[in-house]
Amino acid sequence: MQLAKRMARVQASAIREILKVAERPDVLSFAGGLPAPEAFPVEALARAHADVLSGDAAGALQYGATEGFGPLRAWVAERMTRRGLPAAAEQVLITAGSQQGIDLVGKALIDPGDVVVVEAPSYLAALQSFSTYEARFETVPSDDDGMQVDALERLLRRKRPKLIYLVPTFQNPRGTTLSLERRVRIARLAARFGVTVLEDDPYGELRYRGPALPPVAGIEKEAPVIHLGSFSKTLAPGLRLGYAVADARAIRALTIAKQAADLHTGSLAQRAVARMFETFDYDAHLARLRRLYGERLDAMLASLERAFPEGTTWTRPEGGLFVWVQLPSGIDALELFGDAMLARVAFVPGAPFYPAEPCLETLRLNFSNRPPDAIARRLREARASRAPRRRIAG
Ligand SMILES: Cc1ncc(COP(=O)(O)O)c(C=O)c1O
């Protein structure tokens, strides 16, 4: 079999490879971005699926519209309007997770060689997806307030990128959030330079402290922004349900791209979730999730000091699923990974999240998947069992 040349530039996801090892039952994994299974609304979903199958089996099992199931599109439009992105149902495309939204944007917008601006570090599977469309990456550094806008503006003056890819809220992998001031500036820059922003927001509703910020897509009417959301982290990732919200022209292009990809998102899952939302108290469910994950985040933050060598720093997210750790200069996270696995603890070394020039002394920790006491205990044990570290040469 001869593969397309473009596949030579696309790397297998290091995270998925690590997850294979981390899935061993004796390993405590801080590696994946897995939601807590005990928080899946199993009963409500079971009832909704049963209702849909008994009341509308023909609709639920038949081919459906590419744009998605009308009532679910309307629900998303209404919720996004309340969250600060005014939208009509026609501006919503239901996707197979937000990952498909990323891929459809790549398919619809990126020609080989086009420049895509990304944060460094950035969400790995987005880099992977844009690579399959032969994008070239330009990176803009991030700090605790998200993408550095002065650096972005300098870049926009020099280059004409096709796309700016952002995870503004509780970024994967750093957990940090783009400040309001930077949101406004990025929206204005997008309008001024006519560059499309892809706002990928699977974590926006998982805020444990601090005030909510408006989506970048809702700030500046003239700015071309495509907003992506997901039910993966708030309901369950196995549903494979997400959405894109954008102007009619962008939704049309993404819809055509989706027709070629998978015709439409699964009819049964869309109808079941729309049915569930008729009676399910989603806000109360989110409040429970925020309490659960907020406790786990606190447990992790409280344990990090004892778990890592002196001189280590980490982000202090207000939500989402990840903490980003910066090790002292010269300590390679990949080596540390080997040690941690001996103590049956897994994490993701940070290097793969960089499209270029990786920082080897970084790693990502997930805190959503295990109870707080397990997080604290195992981080302590991992520290106790660790051999003295060698430094990276040079
Ligand atoms: C930033 C970001 N975008 C998109 C996704 C994909 O999520 P989904 O399950 O909605 O496809 C993830 C999943 O971890 C993510 O972290």
Residue nearest to atom 8 of ligand 1 (CA): 97
pLDDT value at residue 320: 98
Give the CATH class of 5-40+283-386: alpha beta
Q: Which CATH number fits domain 46-276: 3.40.50.720, 3.50.50.60, 2.40.110.10, 3.40.640.10?
A: 3.40.640.10
Which of ligand 1's atoms lies nearest the C-alpha of 33? 14
Listed range (9-13, 62-66, 220-224) with the worst mean pLDDT: 9-13
Tell me what pLDDT residue 393 has: 41
- Bond before 121 cis per omega within 30 degrees: yes
If we measure between CA atoms, which residue out of 67, 320, 312 comes closest to residue 169?
A: 320
Q: What is the pLDDT of residues 155-169, one digit of tens each?
A: 999 999 999 999 999
**Per-residue confidence band for 386, with pLDDT thresholds at 50, 70 and 90:** low
**How far lies 380's CA from each of 15, 118, 151, 326, 376, in Å?**
24, 35, 39, 18, 6
CB 101 within 8 A of CB 262: no
Contact 32, 15 (CB under 8 A): yes
Confidence of residue 14 (pLDDT cuts 50, 70, 90): low
Q: What is the pLDDT of residues 209-254, one digit of tens each?
A: 999 999 999 999 999 999 999 999 999 999 999 999 999 999 999 9
Alpha-carbon gap, residue 175 to 323, rounded angstroms = 6
Q: What percent of the chain has pLDDT over 70?
A: 95
Segment 180-201 shows an average pLDDT of 98
- The pLDDT-based confidence of 385 (bands split at 50, 70, 90) is low
Domain residue extents for the chain: 5-40+283-386, 46-276
Question: Do the Cβ atoms of 332 and 350 come closer than 8 Å?
Answer: no
Tens-digit pLDDT profile for residues 298-338: 999 998 888 888 899 999 999 999 999 999 999 999 888 88
The reply to whether 5-40+283-386 and 46-276 are identical in fold is no
Dihedral angle sign, alpha carbons of residues 130, 136, 142, 146: negative
191 has pLDDT over 70: yes
Average pLDDT in the chain: 92
- Output the DSSP codes for 169-217: SS-TTT-----HHHHHHHHHHHHHHT-EEEEE-SSTT-B-SS-----GG
Q: Which of 64-73, 226-235, 374-383 has the lowest mean pLDDT?
A: 374-383
Residue 382's pLDDT is what?
67
Q: Are 240 and 266 in contact (CB under 8 A)?
A: yes
Nearest ligand 1 atom to the CA of 101 is 11
Q: Give the gyration radius of the chain's Cα atoms.
A: 21
Residue 71 confidence (pLDDT) above 90: yes
DSSP sequence for 311-322: T-EE---SBSSE
Label residue 394 by pLDDT band (50, 70, 90).
very low
CA of 385 to the centre of ligand 1 (A): 33
Percent of the chain surpassing pLDDT 90: 79
Q: Which residues line ligand 1 (CB under 6 A)?
A: 33, 97-99, 123, 167, 172, 200, 202, 230, 232, 237, 242
Answering whether pTM is above 0.85, one says: yes
21 against 101, higher pLDDT:
101
Atom 6 (ligand 1) nearest CA: 99
Which phi and psi (to 5°) does residue 209 adopt? -155, 165
SS3 382: helix
Between 24 and 100, the more confident residue is 100
On the question of pLDDT at 139 being above 50, the answer is yes
Select the highest-mean-pLDDT range: 10-24, 242-256, 335-349, 376-390.
242-256
**Gap from CA of 206 to ligand 1 centroid (Å):** 13
C-alpha of residue 98 to centroid of ligand 1, in Å = 6
* pLDDT score of 392 more than 50: no
Q: Give CA–CA dist 63/267, Å, rounded.
A: 7
pLDDT-based confidence at residue 25 (cuts at 50, 70, 90): confident
Instruction: Write out pLDDT tens, residues 249-306.
Output: 999 999 999 999 999 999 999 999 999 999 999 999 999 999 999 999 999 999 888 8
Say if residue 74's pLDDT is above 90: yes
Q: Which long-range contacts (C-beta less than 8 Å, at least 24 apart) are formed by 21-27?
A: 21/341, 21/346, 22/346, 24/344, 26/344, 27/341, 27/344, 27/345, 27/346
Average pLDDT over residues 182-207: 98
- H-type alpha helices, the chain: 14-22, 42-55, 57-61, 70-82, 97-109, 124-132, 149-158, 180-193, 248-262, 267-279, 282-307, 333-342, 372-384
> Taking 70 as the threshold, does the pLDDT of residue 390 lie above it?
no
Compute, in angstroms, the gap from residue 130 CA to the centroid of ligand 1: 14
Q: What is the DSSP string of 68-117?
A: --HHHHHHHHHHHHHTT----GGGEEEESHHHHHHHHHHHHHPPTT-EEE
Beta bridge partners of 364: 324, 348
Cα(32) to centroid(ligand 1), Å: 11
> At residue 84, does pLDDT exceed 70?
yes
Q: Report the SS3 class of residue 350.
A: coil
Write the CA distances from 389 to 28, 306, 362, integer angstroms.
Answer: 22, 16, 15
Q: How far apart are the first and last CA of the chain?
A: 41
